[in-house]
C-alpha cells in the first residue's frame, strides 16, 4: 500500500477525467546495471536455483541501530551451475558464506552478491549454504513509503522497532534472493531483542529463548509460501490478545499485538472490523489463504503494510485513512481503512503475487477494489459503487500503471484508484455479479500460493467471462490516458467511436436516451451507428458512473 498516501492529498478536490493522447516525445527512462541486477527475472545466476527455505537469525542492537546474524538458504538446483546470485545491500558487511563447513569465494556488485561453488551443483539436487552478515541497515524515515528499519520509542519510553521494505526489497536488512518471482516455501524467523521487549513476526510463535547476553530470541515459523518483502520484525512492549473466527476452512486463529497501553482500544476497534472483513473477503475471494499460519494484526509506528499472516497496523484505532475518507462519499469513514485494505492483500499480493514489480497492479488494483466490495457486503451494492466512483478524485493519469519489466520498477500510483475503477468497469461489462464473484474466487483458487504474470491474470478473466477484455486491460494499465467515447452526427444519424491508445480498442459501454434504460453498445475506433432509436447528440447519455471514461460530443 506504500504509494497510497501520495493519492490522499488529492481526494478532497474534484478531478475531471483527463483526456490526453499525445505521448510522443515523453522523456525516456534510463535504467542502470544495478536496476537490472536487482530486477531481472531471467538472469542465469538467479533462475539456476529455486529457493525452498530460509532460516533468518538476526539480533537487533537497538541502541546502536545495528544488526548481526545469519541466513540459511536451502534450495533446489533448476539446472547445473557453479555460480549463483543473491542480494544484500552494499552498506551491510558480508562476513562469510559457509558451504559444507568451508567458506565460499564471492564478489559483490552494487547490491548483488555472486557466489562460486567448489564443484558443480547438479540439476535436481537439494543443497544449502549460510550467509553471515552485520551492519547498520538503512533507516526508514517515512515507512512504509521508503524502506528499511524504523526506530522509535512509544509513549512510555520503550523501544519500538519495525521493518518495512516493499519495493526497496528485503535485502535492505537481510541476505535473500530478492525477487518476487521465487517465493520461499517456508521460513523460520528468529529475532533476538533486548530483554523486556517482544518480537512479533510472521506465522506462528514456536519458541522463546532467554539468551545469556541479556537478549531474548523469538522463533516464528511460516509454513506457507511467502514473499521475502513480507518477512518482518516488529519489536516493542507488546501485549497478546487472542480470538477465533469460524470461516470457510474452519477455525482461524486471530492474534492481535497492540502496545501495552492500547489493549482496550485494540479490542474495540478490531472486534468491529476484523470479522466483518473476513466474512466479506471470504465471500468474494474464497477462504483466507493462510489458515495454517493464522491471522495477526501488529501495531506499528508506520501506517501499515500487508505483511503476510502478520499485518502491520498503524491507523491509531480509528476509522477511515487516518480519519479521512479516500472517496469523499462518507462511506470510507464507517470502517478502518488499514484493517480492510492491508488484509485484502492476503488474497491479492500474498496469495497471488506478481512475478515482476512492474505488475504491482495485481496487488494494488484488486485490493483497492476490495474496499468497495467490503462496503457492498455490509451496506449494499450502491454504497460500494459510490465508494469506488468517489475514489476517482485521486487519479492523476500521470504515467502508465505497468512499469518497464526486469528493472525492479513500480508503475504509477494510479494502480490503486484507477485500477480499482478499471475492475469495476470489467464487472459492469460482464454484467453478471455471480459470475464476477466466481472469477475473483477462481483467481485465488487457480493461482493459490503462486506468482503470476499480467498475461495469466488477463487470460484467466477472459476465459472465465467469455469476453475478450484484453484491450480494456491494456488501455487502462499500459497507457496513462483514459479512453474517450466520441459522438458525432453524420447524415442525420448519431455515430460514435472510441479514441484510445490500445490497438483495436472496442470496449462495450452502456448508453441510453436520457431517462431511458441503458443498453450495451460496442463501438470500435472507427465511427459506427449508435443503434439506439431516437438517440441524438442532445439526448444521448453514457454511464459515466460505472465507466471511468471521457465523453466528447461534436
**17 pLDDT more than 50:** no
Three-class secondary structure assignment of 360-376? CHHHHHHHHHHHHHHHH
Exposure b/e, 148-173, CB count within 10 A at least 16 = b: bbbbeebeeebbbbbbbbbbbbbbbb
Tell me, what's the pLDDT at 249?
Answer: 98
Q: What is the mean pLDDT of residues 162-188?
A: 97
Q: Which tens digit of pLDDT belongs to each residue from 195-215? A: 999 999 999 999 999 999 999
The 10 Å Cβ neighbour count of residue 78 is 16
Rounded average pLDDT over 362-366: 98
Q: Is the pLDDT of residue 85 over 50?
A: yes
* Mean of pLDDT over the chain: 95
With cell 472507427, the residue in question is 526
Start-to-end CA distance of the chain, whole Å, equals: 41
Closest C-alpha among 74, 188, 78 to residue 124? 78
Is residue 84 within 8 A of residue 104, CB to CB? The reply is no
pLDDT of residue 343: 98
Residues across the chain? 554
Closest Cα partner for 528 from 548, 552, 513, 506? 506
12 in helix, strand or coil?
coil
Closest CA to 545 of 397, 382, 415, 416: 382
Q: Three cell numbers at 22?
A: 499525445
The pLDDT score that the predictor gives to residue 1 is: 62
Upper half-sphere CA count for residue 92 (Cβ side, 13 Å): 30
DSSP 265-317: HHHHHHHHHHHHHHHHHHHHH-S-TTTTT-EEEEE-SSSEE--TTSEEE-STT
Q: How far is CA 107 from CA 50, 65, 94, 115, 363, in A?
A: 21, 26, 10, 7, 34
DSSP letters of 49-105? EEEEEEEEEEEEETTTTEEEEEEEEEEEESS-EEEEEEE--TTSEEEEEEETTEEPP
CA pair distance 476, 500, nearest whole angstrom: 10
* Predicted local distance difference test score (pLDDT) of residue 517: 96
329 pLDDT higher than 50: yes
Give the separation between CA 425 and CA 483, rounded to whole angstroms.
12
Q: Is the pLDDT of residue 26 over 80?
A: no
User: Which range is least confidently modeled, 113-117, 138-142, 457-461?
Assistant: 138-142
Of the CA atoms within 13 Å of residue 151, those in its CB half-sphere come to: 12
Instruction: Quote the cell numbers at residue 454.
Output: 499480467
27: pLDDT confidence band, cut at 50, 70 and 90? Answer: low
Q: What is the pLDDT of residues 402-455, one digit of tens each?
A: 999 999 999 999 999 999 999 999 999 999 999 999 999 999 999 999 999 999
Q: pLDDT (tens digit, 9 = 90+) per residue, 247-303?
A: 999 999 999 999 999 999 999 999 999 999 999 999 999 999 999 999 999 999 999
Task: Report pLDDT digits (tens) over 482-499.
Answer: 999 999 999 999 999 999
The pLDDT assigned to 300 comes to 98
Residue 399's pLDDT band, with cuts at 50, 70 and 90, is: very high
* pLDDT of 5 over the 50 cut: no
pLDDT tens, residue by residue, 514-548: 999 999 999 999 999 999 999 999 999 999 999 99
Residue 8 main-chain phi, psi, to 5 deg: -60, -40
Q: Strands 295-299 and 250-257, how do they pair?
A: parallel
Amino acid at each position: 500500500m506504500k504509494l497510497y498516501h501520495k493519492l490522499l492529498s488529492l481526494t478532497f478536490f474534484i478531478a475531471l477525467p483527463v483526456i490526453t493522447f499525445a505521448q510522443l516525445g515523453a522523456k525516456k527512462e534510463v535504467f542502470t546495471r544495478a536496476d537490472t541486477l536487482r530486477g531481472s527475472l531471467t538472469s542465469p545466476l538467479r533462475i539456476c536455483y529455486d529457493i525452498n527455505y530460509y532460516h533468518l537469525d538476526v539480533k537487533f542492537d537497538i541502541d546502536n541501530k545495528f544488526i548481526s546474524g545469519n541466513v540459511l538458504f536451502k534450495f533446489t538446483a533448476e539446472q547445473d551451475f557453479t555460480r549463483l546470485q543473491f542480494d544484500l545491500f552494499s552498506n551491510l558487511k558480508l562476513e562469510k558464506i559457509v558451504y559444507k563447513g568451508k567458506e565460499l569465494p564471492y564478489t559483490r556488485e552494487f547490491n548483488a552478491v555472486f557466489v562460486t561453488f567448489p564443484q558443480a551443483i547438479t540439476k535436481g539436487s537439494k543443497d544449502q549454504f549460510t550467509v553471515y552478515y552485520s551492519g547498520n541497515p538503512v533507516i526508514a524515515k517515512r515507512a512504509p513509503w521508503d524502506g528499511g528499519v524504523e526506530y522509535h520509542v512509544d509513549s512510555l519510553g520503550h523501544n519500538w522497532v519495525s521493518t518495512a521494505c516493499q519495493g526497496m526489497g528485503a535485502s535492505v536488512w537481510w541476505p535473500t534472493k530478492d525477487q518476487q518471482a521465487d517465493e520461499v516455501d517456508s521460513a523460520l524467523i528468529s529475532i533476538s531483542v533486548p530483554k523486556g521487549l517482544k518480537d512479533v513476526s510472521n506465522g506462528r510463535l514456536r519458541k522463546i529463548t532467554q539468551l545469556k547476553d541479556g537478549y531474548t530470541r523469538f522463533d516464528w515459523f511460516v509454513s506457507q509460501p511467502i514473499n521475502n518483502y513480507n518477512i518482518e520484525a516488529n519489536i516493542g512492549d507488546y501485549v497478546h490478545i487472542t480470538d477465533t473466527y469460524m470461516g470457510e476452512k474452519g477455525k482461524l486463529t486471530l492474534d492481535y499485538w497492540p502496545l501495552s497501553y492500547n489493549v482496550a482500544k485494540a479490542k474495540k476497534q478490531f472486534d468491529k472490523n476484523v470479522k466483518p472483513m473476513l466474512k466479506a473477503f471470504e465471500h468474494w475471494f474464497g477462504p483466507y489463504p493462510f489458515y495454517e499460519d493464522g491471522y495477526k494484526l501488529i501495531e506499528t509506528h508506520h501506517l501499515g503494510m500487508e505483511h503476510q499472516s502478520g499485518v502491520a497496523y498503524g491507523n491509531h484505532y480509528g476509522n477511515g485513512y487516518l480519519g479521512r475518507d479516500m472517496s469523499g462519499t462518507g462511506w470510507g469513514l464507517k470502517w478502518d481503512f488499514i484493517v480492510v485494505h492491508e488484509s485484502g492483500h492476503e488474497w491479492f499480493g500474498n496469495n497471488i503475487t506478481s512475478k515482476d514489480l512492474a505488475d504491482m497492479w495485481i496487488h494494488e488494483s484488486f485490493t483497492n477494489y476490495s474496499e468497495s466490495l467490503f462496503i457492498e457486503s455490509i451496506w449494499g451494492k450502491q454504497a460500494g459503487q459510490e465508494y469506488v466512483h468517489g475514489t476517482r478524485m485521486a487519479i492523476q493519469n500521470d504515467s502508465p500503471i505497468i512499469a518497464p519489466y526486469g528493472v525492479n520498477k513500480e508503475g504509477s500510483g494510479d494502480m490503486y484508484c484507477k485500477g480499482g475503477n478499471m475492475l469495476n468497469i470489467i464487472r459492469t461489462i460482464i454484467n453478471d455479479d455471480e459470475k464476477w464473484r466466481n472469477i475473483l474466487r477462481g483467481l485465488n483458487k487457480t493461482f493459490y500460493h503462486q506468482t503470476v504474470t499480467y498475461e495469466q491474470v488477463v487470460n484467466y478473466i477472459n476465459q472465465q467471462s467469455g469476453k475478450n477484455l484484453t484491450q480494456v486491460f491494456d488501455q487502462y494499465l499500459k497507457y496513462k490516458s483514459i479512453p474517450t467515447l466520441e459522438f458525432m452526427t453524420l447524415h442525420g444519424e448519431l455515430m460514435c467511436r472510441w479514441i484510445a491508445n490500445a490497438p483495436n480498442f472496442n470496449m462495450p459501454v452502456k448508453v441510453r436516451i436520457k431517462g431511458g434504460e441503458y443498453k450495451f453498445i460496442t463501438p470500435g475506433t472507427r465511427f459506427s451507428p449508435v443503434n439506439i432509436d431516437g438517440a441524438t447528440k442532445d439526448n444521448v447519455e453514457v454511464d459515466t458512473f460505472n465507466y471511468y471514461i471521457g465523453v466528447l460530443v461534436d
